Structure 1
């Protein structure tokens, strides 16, 4: 796969591998730990990120449709509460942007996803469309570096599960939300609109979001960086592999 460019032109495999290694090395150098949090720079393709359009008009239209649907389902308040809570937790921050300046930032449309559990209570979360592509520009996901496939294939994992001496299971609470963006330049590419009753609120994310192609890559290398600070015992070796 890595010998083929997206347009079908065959390239030298070593050149492709060098590009991957350079992006990985550059990202690893950007990892910083301060104030009990990890901060990173997003790994962008420099030749593509400048061609991602603002998309603010699309984001506004999607928001209008979303809120109309939520109001019919009487779920508008629950959906808005998600962002109120995220603002309280400093996951997102409110930004004052005049309408004439909307075009200066990249806006991401979002929609709700509902989950009904056995207790018949409703859980709602927001999903952002980083794959939105308009005109001749790139989407955010096309403009980021997603890394090579870091996960073992499922048959191999199943075999290891029944043959290895140890099995390590874990769930990091809100893993993506624990990693923060370092630069305003990155944050300015994750703007979005929210309607709270009749008020149009402008937010931007300060952390990784679901739906962004590079998020798994970033999380993986932050975990690798984290465990490298500990003794090379069995647990550390399992996390690294």
Structure 2
């Protein structure tokens, strides 16, 4: 997307301290948006925001545990108060805990559900309340939920994660329908990123090896690449560009969609 395509927009990116979230925050800022990074990693979030601010972008950070209603209220208040509006939410925060089904732990499943599902649901709730007519901002907007290619494929040792990311997909579509039918002026979409060489992505590869499903990290990554028609991993810039597009006016008639950014792996 061209610089300035999101000029004047005010965005909140959850899990924006590092990885995909940090790359999306950078891309939104490059497109002209003011950005608030919300994360439990408060020091790293502040560092990421400070680094982006040096480029001339308006970027701040706020403590945000996405499973906590009260923290969502404070975070949205910070976006509105410090940036002067709120019309983009990127629901990116998420975790992945690798496990074979025979070894699943209830606490691990609950934690993934809390962050990956409850967190997205609360984000939608507070975005809708702020952006809909009569809300704190009331001018409409858009939400992009970050699901995963794991929602569209059967891959060993990620059953719990796949389930939560499938829930993100379903929640996206219901939210888009509600927002449209109720006249909120809010578009809701999701993306399915493929494996990226982030800290989280490489941990998954390491865990696959630990579970006896690949001889080494290179083999684990190679297995993913073999299943990907374009023959490589996704880059952070490619994922960010698709999200920026969904936030832009060029996507103004797109809602309730799931956009794969996976090199064809989930086709």
TM superposition score category, shorter chain reference: under 0.3
The structure whose Rg is larger is 1
TM, length-normalised to structure 1: 0.26
Bigger RCO of structures 1 and 2 (CA < 8 A, at least 6 apart): 1
Which has the larger share of helix?
A: 2
